[in-house]
Chains A and B, each alone.
Chain A
Amino acid sequence: MDKPSHLSVVVDLSPSQWHLCGQSSNSHPLPLSAFLSQLLAFLNAHIACNDENTLSVYGALPGKSILLYSSATAVPEEFTGPADPNTYRPFEVLDSTMMNSISDRVEALTDLEQEPPIGLVGALTKSLCYINRMSNASSTSTAAGGVQGPVVLPDPRILVVSVSPDESSSYIPIMNSIFSAQKLKVTIDVCKLYGPESVFLQQAAHLTGGSYIYLERPDALLQYLTMAFLPPPAVRQLLSVPTQDKVDFRAACFCHKNIVDIGFVCSVCLSIFCQPVPVCSTCRTKFPIKTLQRLNASKPAAPAPRTPAPTPPATSLPRSQSIGTPRSSMGNGLVAPSPSRNGTSLPPR
């Protein structure tokens, strides 16, 4: 770990989900306070690994997203006084900045009947913008004549700590964020603490080469964090961090939400149908009769029974078995854009 690295953490702070997560009826409850203390230990470990490591923490709150802490901003005045001799100054700054901004925001939350959807997309895109600016700034400062500007970001990465279920309307924004992360060569790691498996975040981790880990024991969060997410991506190749092997990229049709192997796709809006249809239900495009006849003729007479996904032999089961949970529901039930139905049928903005 001789090279500095940048870490952006997106923390899901949905009050209702954290309430559910901390309930003692769970087998391994993790209340928010315990979570925060473990997370802070992890963040401290990150900035302690290398002097030049940078960090930014985003909070995804209901309906909005905020920057909780950024190592690029100046140290606030309250820390300029005499320090506590028993704490390392950067840790103290990080911990109290984070805790203050979280408590400010959480207290400001109004008591609503229905919680607005979590601002995960906003937090993701903000961290991407942040990384983009950091890497831009470093490249211009070196181009301007070797001035030692902000630290170059060799391995920027984003860690998403999620407790909320997928928001189907955010399929397109999340996919867009994933593709821009790919362009920026940002690795997205996902740590899923509670709730159902997140298909979107699975795809995010898979497409950017990160790891998606569903915590079997949420109360052992710190161990997962330090073992799997602390080392930068370059080091992880040597560490065999658990990877996702079961991400399924098949699509669900827009008409019946069936999982399709062979679909019929509108060339205008890319909606997927399981049968040849005369009119696209999303964009109202009429298709030529000739195509319909041709497709109907070439369509397999009876929908062939879908071959089950070949299961790897027991000897070579993915390593995620040991730490992540290979959930039985992860097989064919979870497919990529089943929620995209809502996303794509939105009226074009």
Chain B
Amino acid sequence: MPPRRTGNDYMDVDSDSDVSILDEFEQTTKAKAKGKGKAIDRSKPSKGKSKAKEQPYAWEASYTRSWDTVREDETGSLQGAVQDLIARGRRRRLLAPAAAIRRSIIRHLVLVLDLSTSMMDRDMRPTRFDLMLQYAREFVTEWFDQNPLGQIGVVGMRGGVGERIGEMSGNPQDVLKCISERHKLEPSGDPSLQNAIEMARSSMSHLPTHSSRELVIIFGSLTSCDPGNIHDTLEECVKDRIRISIVALAAEMKICRELCDKTGGMFGVAMNEGHFKDLLFELIPPPAQRALARTGGGGVSNPAADLMMMGFPTRLPNTSPPSLCVCHSQLKSEGFLCPRCLAKVCDVPTDCDICGLMIVSSPHLARSYHHLFPVKPYQPVTSLEETPYADSKCHACAAPFPSNPTQVPGTATEGMSLLGRYRCPDCHHVFCTDCDVFIHDVVHCCPGCGK
């Protein structure tokens, strides 16, 4: 299920925040302010940090009220306005610069989960903890879908120490299994950022240079209980080219911001449930390697490029005689044979349990190609005159276009078509909003050009 389908957009619109989803430019400031408001409610010791800032409170900030941006159309219906909001929210992602040339394909990621008592807070329903687990599972599924050659490990922070929950694994089922049992992850004690980062760092220390090393921290607490100087850890991470991204659930902390900024990661404070999911899912597409090359700066011209040895297994059909697999020791007929040691593994991609060879199948490689050859962004059609194909229907789904332009005030923003039509710069065919998003998010192939 792609993350940006209508259901999620509804969540955005229906969220309990009074902040419109349109004003992305002030997200962080407001998130800060919101965190401040919460901190006062809960009398948590974050006042010292927030006092120094001169930001207005959430209720003083110049926000657009979501109920002001929605206008009824001629027939008195709100549907047009709501759909416009949804379409704009979707399209915003597409406007992100597509300039990144090189992306990490072989990714290694450690997911760090906050399991401290602050995760039992109920400001996100049902609790932060339950929500985090639910989103973490969806994150893992979607992440493996987009990064089939990647690996994920899981580390938890509770009781002042880092706790290894799941080893680095390329199999989504393994990762999902280790975060599936809620009772084993029951929050307790204080979190320790330093301990968790050190643990994650050590588990990635053996990785080859061409793979990206990433940390995604979901952090709900406002304190961290560290045994040493966390700035030393940060230096080490910069040196190891580990990219740290943090999704905070409470408020922005200086050290969190610094961890992300110095390592080239992303930082965000979740304002509500929908926003939490958005922040987390923004970390799914492979990062551009620009930042990595810059921090590299060494004598090696291209530290990120390397040649990898990979095995392409022989697939055993389910009619072959059953035999034991090396990964689970179960009797199965289906499986894949490692080309080097002929061990039988259940699933690819994986590292062979016997000889350590990376085993992939060619569709897995093909699945990553769309990151390398993306579809060109479509141009919004602003007037009907210039259109070479003045069809009345979407070229892809054959849905008729709305005959009259939507008359929502303030619609004429950059990258939005009043007519709901978008044109491919290559084949000049015209597509509707739904197909525009679907083609760029899911299909990665223009129906007009056929490539």
| Chain A residues engaging chain B, CB cutoff 8 angstroms | 65, 67, 70, 72-73, 119, 121-122, 125-126, 128-130, 132-133, 136, 139-140, 143-144, 169-173, 175-180, 183-184, 203, 207, 245-251, 260-270, 272-273, 276-277, 280, 285-288, 291-292, 295, 298, 300, 306-307, 309-310, 312-313, 316-318, 335-337, 340, 344, 346, 348-349
Contact = CB atoms under 8 A, between A and B. Distances in A.
B415 interface: no
A170 B362 contact: no
A337 B365 contact: yes
Chain B interface helix/strand/loop/mixed: loop
Interface in B1-26: 1-2, 5-7, 10
Majority secondary structure of chain A interface residues (helix, strand, loop or mixed): mixed
Contact of B447 (A129, A267, A335, A336): A129
Interface string B257-301: 000000000000000000000000000000000000000000011
A126 B396 contact: yes
Given A130-B398, A268-B305, A292-B307, 11 more contacts: A65-B447, A121-B447, A125-B443, A128-B443, A133-B434, A177-B443, A248-B314, A264-B310, A265-B308, A291-B307, A310-B316
Nearest to A169: B451
Contacts of A335: 362
Nearest to A261: B339
Task: Kindly list the 9 A-B residue pairs having the minimum CB-CB distance in the complex, ordered from nearest.
Answer: A261-B339, A245-B317, A129-B396, A336-B362, A267-B210, A249-B361, A175-B366, A125-B447, A121-B450
For chain B, give the interface size range.
Answer: 35 or more
Interface of B: 1-2, 5-7, 10, 79, 102, 105-106, 145, 210-211, 300-302, 304-321, 337, 339-340, 342, 357, 361-363, 365-370, 372-373, 376, 394-399, 432, 434-435, 438-439, 442-448, 450-451
A348 B369 CA distance: 11
A177 B446 CA distance: 10
A321 to B, nearest CB: 11
In the complex, which of the residues A169, A245, A266, A288 has the most CB atoms of chain B within 10 Å of its own CB atom? A288
Given A122-B450, A132-B434, A136-B5, A287 B306 contact: yes
Nearest to A338: B362
A336 B314 contact: no
A158 B445 CA distance: 17
A138 to B, nearest CB: 11
Contacts of A72: 398
Contacts of B367: 175, 179
B450 to A, nearest CB: 4
A337 B366 contact: yes
A309 to B, nearest CB: 5
Contact of A249 (B6, B363, B396, B446): B363
Contact of B365 (A133, A136, A251): A251
A44 to B, nearest CB: 21
